[in-house]
Structure formats: C-alpha cells, structure tokens
Amino acid sequence: MLTVEQILAAQKAQVATLFDLSGKALASVEKLNELNLQAAKASLAESASHAQAMMSVKDVQELMTLQSSLLQPMAEKAASYSRHLYDIASGMGAEISKLAEGQAADVQKQFVAAVDSAVKSAPQGSESAVAAVKNAVSTAAAAMESVQKAVKQATELAEANFNAVASTAVNASKTAKAPKAAA
C-alpha cells in the first residue's frame, strides 16, 4: 500500500517532469521561431536581389539563364531548412522519449516494490499467483524494452531516408541545366 509520503513524492516528480518538458518545448519553439526568422530575412534579401536582376534582363535567353540559376540554390535552401526543422523536431522527440522512458522505469520500479510488499504479506499457498504476477511484470518490461528498440530503429531508418531524399533533391537540382537557346 502506498504511503502519503510516496504519493507526495510521486506528485512532486510529475510536476518537476512537467516543468522540465515545458521548458524543453519552449526551447524548441524558440529554435523554430529563430529558424523561421532567419529564413524570412534571407528570402526577403534574395527576393530583392532577384527583382534587381530581373529588371536588368535584356533578352529571353538571359531571363532563362537567370531563372535556371536560381533553381539549385532554392533546392539547397529548402533542403537545409527541412533539415533544420527535422533536427528541431527529432531533438524534441528524443527529449520526450527520454522522459517517457524514465517515467516508465520509475513506474515499473514502484510496481515491483508494491508487488514485493504484497508478497511479504501474502497468505500461505499463494506462491503460484505471486510467481505469475512477477512473471507478467518481467514479460511486460521485456516487451516495453523491445518496443523502445523498435521505435529507435524506426527513427534511425526514417532519418536515413530523410537524408537520402534531401541529398537526392539537392543533387537533382545540381544536374539541372539551363535551357539552351534555339539556334
């Protein structure tokens, strides 16, 4: 049976975890706002530069060359922006996972302690029921560990796929050539 002190300690730990998670979420939002502000400033400067270049175009060939010269930098910037977004999101996801794993481990320890306490006061002849509960707890812990490993592997695979797609997009923009003028 849980004591008042144990309940209060659990409540304090949950409040501390909530504030820790809130602080990390705000830090992620701050990073996202900073990224978006930098992207907006860069976009404004590039738009002004592009407008100036467009006003100095003298023929269609020069216009086509100017337009095609913007393709690669835009693709690289989009890939870079996406990469930064992914880093912010995956960092926050990792923090949440770490906190969730810590909470799950604490809950499991408390449950095992409660089962051990109950075992001590269990009546004679209930050994098989106690063994079944302990077996269920260890099986659940093993299952949770397997799920955590699978999630980690899936995250690593998703990150590798994201990197491959971003790299392919940037490489494709590098190989795109300016259209040739009709002879």
* 168 within some domain: yes
8 Å CB contact between 92 and 25: yes
* 131 within some domain: yes
* 28 within some domain: yes
* 96 within some domain: yes
Percent of the chain whose pLDDT exceeds 70: 91
pLDDT of residue 37: 96
Q: How many CA atoms lie within 13 A of 152 on its CB side?
A: 10
* 1 within some domain: no
* 2 within some domain: no
Q: Considering the entire predicted model, what is its pTM?
A: 0.63
8 Å CB contact between 79 and 170: yes
User: What is the number of structural domains in the chain?
Assistant: 1
34 vs 103, higher pLDDT? 34
Domain containing 139 equals 7-174
8 Å CB contact between 96 and 18: no
8 Å CB contact between 142 and 48: no
Query: With bands split at pLDDT 50, 70 and 90, how would you rate the model's confidence at 107?
Result: confident
pLDDT of residue 71: 76
Spatial neighbors of 86 by CB under 8 A, at least 6 apart, are 159, 162
- Rounded mean pLDDT of 28-36? 94
